[in-house]
Structure 1
């Protein structure tokens, strides 16, 4: 009689956590349980090849994993015709990295070593690429990814800008003129909008943004600004629980957001989390609650006014892990647990000052129309 004994599931998970990500894609068809496992964030986070930060210096790109110790590895971005270039900007969005180049943009899944180059149209002006999303009104199973980019229509104009949307499926561009009044009518006319950074959740892009209001008691008004690929419109999503301190980053956490702010006086860090599920229907009904407070003596400034560099961070259980630059531009990893600074590690291999960095959430999602990088 054949031996029908099965491998325990916890042992199977441990084995699969050591399999290269590119091989996991082929194993999706083995069974429904394996396919579901590969979509589980806990499995992805515990995979032995997972990394949580991307750091870009002037000449190199690195991945940083923070588990029992900090591990830094150099990454390669082999793009046809763009191989010598290092991205000018990095945005973690929809499981991909959006890499702004001198000409066009590269969509990159570094975990799967897959890329797609998006070439600009002829005579297209310099674009500011903001993120990747999709139309969440679609009823079919296929997700059609799109990118949002903007540029100033008239350098002398302060009321309008041009929006360009790129469709991955059709490989086409769409132009739309956006009136700033569409998303500023709820705010004072004396305000000027400053966008801090972007995250993507359920196909919609969200920014932490603030309005610099002149001649008022509290000059800064912080909001969550969104762009829906379904309606192709910006709108104010909700106010942020910022008080007089500046929020410095926002991350999606399952179906909500985390918001980090640091007091400029006592360096105290506070993390806020959304209470309800985030989608386009909630609008200003989004509620925030305090999630974590960290007060550590001699905690450095996580935002340096000289470079306006913002911290990248994630929460793993009771650990708060932060990537930030010090006053001299050197990159550090801080690990905090229960109001204690557990470790502080300088990224010695990143020799250039003021590197760009972002939190990265590994994904097994293939880039539509993408190609594998050459080794």
Structure 2
């Protein structure tokens, strides 16, 4: 945003005020859908404090390129939550020309609410997730020995733990593709979706998406934690795990069996490689602008003002994001999982993201938390 625009926005902020009140508002619990972590049943209802604040209280407001977030906002408006239809219609019919117009539109029609935990703590945790892009084979050959499976129709078959699935004859017909790295498969299952790069019979490269289709209702256990506890692993990064697997091929199946959870996938065409996977809201996720949240606290589709730091850096990260996904590990009022995109660089950023977070929700005037 240009200096003159920031100055104009600052002048406007100086004239705005909002009432401040600290309601305690429990929400009904909702089980997470498509996650950045494997979905699990939500525990007790999260309780949050919502405090109405002035726009000038949002740190860094006016410094973000809001136009970079606008496609994510419009995508969320394809499935507006109750109370959002009027604002979404306005945003679609009167698109802002620049970041200043976007800020003014938000300030005119929305109200800012600071989020805090029940005890009043306004600082929580930001993590990251991404969509892996992995080389795969349509047949079991060479190093490609680790299958992805579609969802079994038989409920009894679907609930089998990982140890009983390996080598099970009825699962042969459910194999979608094969990966050459067992921990790439585990990573894919934890992230919940991914891209497969395969080659057809002519040798032409084809990229498709595999999306979350269900899981086997077994608990999730950390393989890395178990290996660390046994002293077999020092580096618990995905690279460290893959390196361990290459050094210890005979131990891999037993190591993976520590985690009985299996995620099943469905394959989808990928006509637009620039489009992210669909999150729990049912719209494509936007890199750097979509977050997973606890939907017992925050409604899907809600714009959020996020304050944190860049991964592995003290540089402030202050930006508009959209609550468009959920996750089994994303629980509480001040908790978010930022979608970084797809591929190796996004994976690095996601792995580095674990820093303090503050959140503000933006709601239409008249809509109460």
Superposition TM-score, scaled by structure 2 size? 0.23
Which structure would you say has the larger RCO, counting Cα contacts within 8 Å and 6 or more residues apart?
Answer: 2
Structure showing the higher helix proportion among its residues: 2
Superposition TM-score, scaled by structure 1 size? 0.23
